[in-house]
């Protein structure tokens, strides 16, 4: 059977002060509806809705920090406690994916699951489902396949990983729609000259951070390549349907080695002849909402390029290219006079003012804030 694991554990420090440790970016209702009508939605809600028609609702799970459980139940009430995998500590993506694999295999020895992110806007939904369907079919046909997804780059980003496309995968009846390929290599966050060369070559795509695996195959990869994680997750799996579940999880999970799924599994798997690393072109509009400039791309602009988000009441004069965001501030008005390319984010206890071009430095500022504001 098919399962889905939505990863929802990130903190989103580059979206401060809206995103806080007590309420991360994936739970903020700040994404305007595509139609322009209706309430704003959270990134997590969007991620869950993309699975409609692809994975049965009862087989959709969220992996997140345990402290966000109640907020997730409020934001996406369709997810019961049994389908929220609460991490007692953050141990990076290989353990989050392994956590899901261990639970799914316990529920269903033949489980095949997709791993989805919760910090992207992906459109259109129907094309996303078509490409994910290809990923599922690849693994269902051959469980030794580990499938990743490649997004066509629109600029030479240095903050994303890249996937190099190898030979296409053909099956004689066009079941894969010409979108499946062998992965030649993964490259993590290249410098600008290499990123430019990758984009110009046409052979590379952005690593979307989404995957499809057979649960038992992924756990076998952990046994080979990261045995410390494998052993701990097997202990959690053995206790999952017993009264000792939470005690074992709380004791074992925080001690798992912290490492990403790309480094721990995908890279070494590419050198293992018993495994096949496959890719699927995800030819969609893909926006990583990880910073204020990227969030601005989700909002309509006025004739001067100014954008407003949240419940912002903005007044601008002789101002161009600004982003103004407010939340929970009632009738508070933000007025800009003679300003260009600024980001102004106002909340009830903090206000951020910065040039949009300096957005990548926000993480450093976040590190200097008092704990009660983070």
Read off the tokens for 225. Answer: 């390549």
The mean per-residue pLDDT over the stretch 338-364 comes to 95
Mean pLDDT in the chain?
A: 94
> CA 259, CA 152: separation in Å to the nearest integer?
26
> What tens digit of pLDDT does each residue of 41-53 get?
999 999 999 999 9
- At 113, list the tokens: 């699951």
* Crossing angle between the packed helical segments 92-107 and 227-239, to the nearest 10 degrees: 40
State the pLDDT at residue 311.
Answer: 87
Where residue 250 falls among pLDDT bands split at 50, 70, 90?
very high
Give me 303's structure tokens.
């004739």
Eight-class DSSP state of 356: G
Q: What is residue 314's predicted lDDT score, i.e. its pLDDT?
A: 93
The structure's pTM equals 0.93
Strand partners, 163: 186, 205
Q: For 351-363, how does the pLDDT look when each residue is reduced to its tens digit (9 = 90+)?
A: 999 999 999 899 8
**Confidence check: pLDDT of 3 > 90:** yes
Report the C-alpha gap between 366 and 314 in whole angstroms. 25
What's the rounded mean pLDDT across residues 264-286? Answer: 95
Average pLDDT over every residue of 359-373: 92
- The torsion angles phi and psi of 157, rounded to 5 degrees, stand at -70, 140
- Yes or no: say if 220 and 233 are a contact pair by the CB < 8 Å rule: no
pLDDT at res. 171 = 66
Closest CA to 370 of 17, 12, 14, 88: 17
Q: Tell which residue, 7, 51, 14, 9, has the closest CA to residue 374.
A: 14
pLDDT tens string 194-244: 999 999 999 999 999 999 999 999 999 999 999 999 999 999 999 999 999
Check pLDDT > 70 for residue 174. Answer: no
* pLDDT for the residue numbered 77: 92
Average pLDDT over residues 11-28: 91
What's the CA gap between 374 and 370, in Å, rounded?
7
More confident residue, 175 or 264: 264
Residue 193 confidence (pLDDT): 95
Query: Above 90 in pLDDT, residue 175?
Result: no
User: For residue 329, what pLDDT is reported?
Assistant: 72
Q: Note whether 334 and 314 are within 8 A (CB).
A: yes
What confidence score (pLDDT) does residue 331 get? 81
Three-state DSSP state, 11: coil
Dist. CA 204–CA 208, nearest whole Å: 12
Q: Cα-Cα-Cα-Cα dihedral of 272, 207, 30, 319, to 10°? A: 160
Quick one: which of 43, 57, 34 has its CA closest to 7?
43
DSSP characters over 81-126: GGGEEEESS--HHHHHHHHHHHHHHHH-TT-EEEEE-SSEEEE-HH
Q: Which region among 4-13, 81-90, 299-308 has the lowest average model confidence (pLDDT)?
A: 4-13
Split at pLDDT 50, 70, 90, the class of 128 is: very high
Please give the pLDDT value at position 173: 57
**What is the model's pLDDT at position 176?**
72
Output the six-digit token pair for 231.
Answer: 């052993």
Query: Which pLDDT does position 31 carry in this prediction?
Result: 93
pLDDT at residue 55 in the model: 97
Q: Is the per-residue pLDDT at 350 higher than 70? A: yes
Which region among 235-244, 271-280, 323-332 has the lowest average model confidence (pLDDT)? 323-332
DSSP assignment of 145-203 equals EEEEEEE--SS--SSS-EEEEEEEP--SS-TTTT-EEEEEEEE-S--HHHHHHHHHHS-
């Amino acid at each position: 059977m098919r399962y889905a694991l939505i990863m929802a554990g990130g903190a989103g420090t580059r979206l401060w002060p809206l995103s806080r440790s007590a309420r991360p970016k994936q739970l903020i209702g700040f994404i305007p509806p595509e139609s322009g009508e209706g309430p704003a939605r959270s990134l997590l809600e969007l991620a869950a809705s993309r699975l409609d028609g692809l994975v049965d609702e009862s087989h959709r799970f969220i992996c997140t920090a345990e402290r966000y459980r109640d907020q997730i139940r409020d934001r996406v009430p369709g997810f019961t406690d049994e389908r929220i995998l609460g991490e007692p500590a953050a141990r990076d993506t290989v353990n989050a994916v392994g956590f899901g694999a261990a639970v799914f295999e316990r529920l269903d020895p033949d489980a095949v699951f997709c791993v989805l992110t919760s910090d992207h806007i992906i459109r259109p939904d129907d094309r996303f489902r078509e490409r994910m369907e290809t990923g599922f079919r690849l693994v269902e046909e051959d469980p030794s396949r580990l499938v990743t997804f490649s997004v066509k780059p629109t600029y030479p980003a240095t903050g994303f990983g890249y996937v190099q496309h190898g030979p296409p995968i053909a099956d004689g009846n066009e079941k894969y729609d010409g979108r499946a390929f062998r992965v030649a290599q993964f490259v993590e966050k290249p410098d600008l000259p290499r990123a430019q060369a990758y984009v110009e070559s046409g052979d590379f795509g952005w690593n979307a951070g989404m995957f499809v695996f057979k649960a038992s195959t992924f756990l076998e990869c952990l046994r080979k390549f990261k045995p410390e994680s494998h052993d701990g997750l097997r202990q959690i799996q053995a206790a999952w349907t017993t009264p000792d579940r939470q005690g074992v999880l709380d004791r074992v999970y925080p001690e798992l080695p912290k490492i990403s799924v790309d480094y721990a599994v995908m890279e070494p798997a590419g050198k293992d002849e018993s495994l096949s690393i496959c890719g699927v072109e995800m030819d969609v509009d893909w926006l990583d909402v990880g910073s204020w400039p990227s969030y601005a791309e989700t909002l309509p602009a006025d004739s001067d390029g100014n954008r407003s988000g949240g419940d912002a009441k903005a007044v601008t004069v002789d101002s161009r290219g600004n982003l103004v965001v407010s939340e929970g501030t009632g009738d508070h008005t933000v007025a800009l006079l003679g300003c260009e390319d600024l980001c102004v984010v106002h909340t009830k206890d903090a206000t951020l003012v910065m040039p949009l071009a300096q957005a990548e430095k926000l993480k450093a500022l976040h590190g200097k804030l008092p704990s009660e504001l983070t």
